[in-house]
Amino acid sequence: MRLGIGRTGVVILLGLFVILGAEDVYVWAVAGTVPGVEFFLALVFVLVVAFVAIREARAHPPSR
């Protein structure tokens, strides 16, 4: 499956997923309750925006 974001894009998205997932785990550990749907939707929204931005940046590189 081709995503059109390259290896660097995949690494960036995985990094974001790990950071935001760790934040959710931290909230869960501190508050004692599982974060709500808002946290999950925010995670998905950030990943989608980053994916689109990376794909567009690769499709339209700056001129030299």
- pLDDT tens-digit map of 19-57: 988 988 898 899 888 888 888 898 999 999 999 999 999
Secondary-structure percent of the chain, ordered helix, strand, coil, rounded to 5: 75, 0, 25
55: nearest Cα among 1, 2, 19: 2
Q: What is the pLDDT of residue 4?
A: 84
Q: Please, are residues 5 and 60 in contact by the beta-carbon 8 Å criterion?
A: no
pLDDT of residue 28: 86
Residue type, 52: V
> What domain range includes position 51?
6-59
Q: How many domains does the chain have?
A: 1
Q: Is residue 1 part of a domain?
A: no
Whether residue 17 has pLDDT greater than 80: yes
| Residue 64 lies inside a defined structural domain of this protein | no
Q: What is the pTM of this model?
A: 0.80
- Binned at pLDDT 50, 70 and 90, residue 1 comes out as low
Structure tokens at 56: 């567009």
